[in-house]
């Protein structure tokens, strides 16, 4: 599939009927993000609007879609991972996602795809391509069965080892 034909993320979620899994493997994302920069300065989230994500994911969860997100992180964690950890409960979990964290040292023997991804209904993968500094480059959709299988096996391996958000303590 050509990256130019990628529907907006809310459309991908709206078309999802059963499940969505998301694997994140970077320690920094979009370092110039205004929300992240403000959190670094203030240490709080009073500027953050959770409405759009909660509505997008919450509507799908209401239709019966199961959302699981796993994050592989280096320890000690980066400031960006600290930011994501703070955002997780009021944003992802409040929207209905299940979230787990896996310290990178526990993932050494896992075979993982080279990029972060979402898998929708076990039939479509959305890979995220980032620059070295965490800036977004582009997304790519793939629907080949072997690519989907690779991503699902990798996700489940991470999910089995990962620690639930409520129990994961940052180091």
Interval 38-57 mean pLDDT: 93
Instruction: Report residue 1's pLDDT band, with 50, 70 and 90 as the boundaries.
Output: low
Query: Given a cut of 70, is residue 64 above it in pLDDT?
Result: yes
pTM over 0.85: yes
Per-residue pLDDT tens digits for 98-140: 999 999 999 999 999 999 999 999 999 999 999 999 999 999 9
Tokens of 155: 């996700």
> What superfamily would CATH give domain 9-164?
Endonuclease Chain A (3.30.870.10)
Q: What are the residue ranges spanned by the domains of the chain?
A: 9-164
Strands lying side by side in the sheet with 163-164: 136-142, 124-130, 116-120, 19-24, 66-73, 98-103, 163-164
**Cα–Cα distance, 30 to 45 (Å, whole number):** 17
**Cα–Cα distance, 151 to 161 (Å, whole number):** 16
Q: Tell me the percentage of the chain whose pLDDT exceeds 70.
A: 98
The torsion angles phi and psi of 93, rounded to 5 degrees, stand at -70, -40
Per-residue pLDDT tens digits for 98-108: 999 999 999 99
Tokens of 48: 């953050």
At 4 the pLDDT is 54
Q: Tell me the percentage of the chain whose pLDDT exceeds 90.
A: 93
Instruction: Report residue 5's pLDDT band, with 50, 70 and 90 as the boundaries.
Output: confident
């Amino acid at each position: 599939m050509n990256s130019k034909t990628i529907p907006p993320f809310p459309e991908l979620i709206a078309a999802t009927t059963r499940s969505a899994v998301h694997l994140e493997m970077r320690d920094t994302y979009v370092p110039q993000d205004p929300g992240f920069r403000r959190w670094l300065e203030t240490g709080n989230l009073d500027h953050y609007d959770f409405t759009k994500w909660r509505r997008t994911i919450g509507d799908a969860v209401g239709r019966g879609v199961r959302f699981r997100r796993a994050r592989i992180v280096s320890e000690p964690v980066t400031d960006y991972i600290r930011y994501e950890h703070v955002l997780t409960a009021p944003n992802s979990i409040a929207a209905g996602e299940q979230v787990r964290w896996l310290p990178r040292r526990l993932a050494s023997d896992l075979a993982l795809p080279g990029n972060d991804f979402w898998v929708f209904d076990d039939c479509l993968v959305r890979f995220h391509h980032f620059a070295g500094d965490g800036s977004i480059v582009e997304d790519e959709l793939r629907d080949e069965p072997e690519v989907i299988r690779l991503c699902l096996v990798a996700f489940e391996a991470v999910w089995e080892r990962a620690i639930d958000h409520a129990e994961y303590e940052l180091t």
